[in-house]
A = this chain, B = another copy of it.
Amino acid sequence: MMMEKVLLIECPDSKGLIAQITNICYKHQLNIVRNTEYVDPETGQFYMRTELEGLFNEATLLLDLDRALPAGSQRQLVDSRRRKKIVIMVTKEAHCLGDILMKVYDGSLQLEIQAVIGNHPDLGSLAAKFDIPFHCISHEGVDRAAHEQLLAAQIAMYQPDYLVLAKFMRVLTHDFVRLYPQRIINIHHSFLPAFIGANPYHQAFSRGVKIIGATAHFVTDDLDEGPIIKQMVTNVDHNYRAQDMVKAGRDVEKNVLSKALQLVLEDRVFVHGNKTVIL
């Protein structure tokens, strides 16, 4: 049966690599629908994303690739029709969660929302409108480590592909983050690296900037320092008070988060140190 799969390869560059890989695809009688590569000029790391069409003998294809690819290679064959599963973490603000819920509802985002977890109960009724399980796991009365264990235990019930922090306003520790390497996506409400930390819109207002933005990035140990997936901006002027910037920022935040999710669910995003390569 004809299938569509995406082949993802990351390895040290070497001469003839594309020829070897595409030869294997050809030998397997697979059609290359779209193909993109990138070699980082500084590190010589090679990245390739290939959309393939045909009858897949997955085991032998991967075996053939493993024989051909240099040591230290990572390769993955992804069924492009399988919907990625996500758990969304929130606090009180509805706009990012609401946008994802609506885009999944209307088919714009092809993913499965398994659950929404909030450290406040506020957004439970919004999740309920779309029949998504909501778990309120309050951080009150427990220490940070215990709270994160409760979160992790709940997330473990779902085994999501990605955790999406849709305005989850708690800093996550190293112990939590390392459970989901390159699998936590956050929306930061500033045009990073400007206005790192708390209250970026108030910082932006005080500085008198004429543009504000938002940044979707993978979460690493360093707060606001993870690999950036997508950034978007919008113009502001002297008429914007801090609360007007917050409001204008909402649209940017939800747009940039859903565009980042779109890139991730199409398997376009490679992490390369503290950067992303988007093929």
Q: A106-B98, A210-B230, A228-B208 are in contact. Are A277 and B238 (CB under 8 A)?
A: yes
Complex partner residue of A22 from B19, B228, B231, CB under 8 angstroms: B19
Q: Does A158 belong to the interface (CB within 8 Å)?
A: no
Task: Judge whether B237 and A278 touch: CB under 8 Å.
Answer: yes
- Interface magnitude class on chain A: 35 or more
A254–B34 CA distance with the chains assembled, in angstroms = 30
When each residue 131-167 of chain A gets 1 if its CB lies under 8 Å from chain B and 0 otherwise, what string results?
A: 0000000000000000000000000000000000000
Task: Judge whether A238 and B38 touch: CB under 8 Å.
Answer: yes
Contacts of A22 in B (CB 8 A): 16, 18-19, 22
Task: Judge whether B36 and A26 touch: CB under 8 Å.
Answer: no
Interfacial residues of chain A within 58-73, with CB under 8 A of chain B in the complex: none
Contacts of A29 in B (CB 8 A): 15
Task: Judge whether B39 and A36 touch: CB under 8 Å.
Answer: no
Contacts of A193 in B (CB 8 A): 194-195, 207, 209
Q: Does A78 belong to the interface (CB within 8 Å)?
A: no
In the A-B complex, the 5 residue pairs with the smallest Cβ-Cβ separation, listed nearest first, are A208-B275, A19-B22, A16-B26, A94-B106, A194-B194
Interfacial residues of chain A within 202-260, with CB under 8 A of chain B in the complex: 207-211, 213, 227-233, 237-239, 241, 247, 250-251, 255
Tell me how many chains of this kind the complex includes: 4
Contacts A35-B37, A94-B106 supplied; 12 other A-B pairs, CB < 8 Å: A18-B18, A18-B22, A19-B22, A23-B23, A105-B126, A108-B250, A191-B191, A208-B276, A209-B231, A210-B230, A210-B231, A211-B231
When each residue 96-123 of chain A gets 1 if its CB lies under 8 Å from chain B and 0 otherwise, what string results?
A: 0011011101101000000000000000
Task: Judge whether A98 and B102 touch: CB under 8 Å.
Answer: yes
Q: Does A80 belong to the interface (CB within 8 Å)?
A: no
Complex partner residue of A36 from B25, B31, B36, CB under 8 angstroms: B36
Contacts of A55 in B (CB 8 A): none
A59–B277 CA distance with the chains assembled, in angstroms = 36
Contacts of A192 in B (CB 8 A): 194, 207, 209
Q: Does A32 belong to the interface (CB within 8 Å)?
A: yes
Complex partner residue of A26 from B19, B105, B272, B275, CB under 8 angstroms: B19
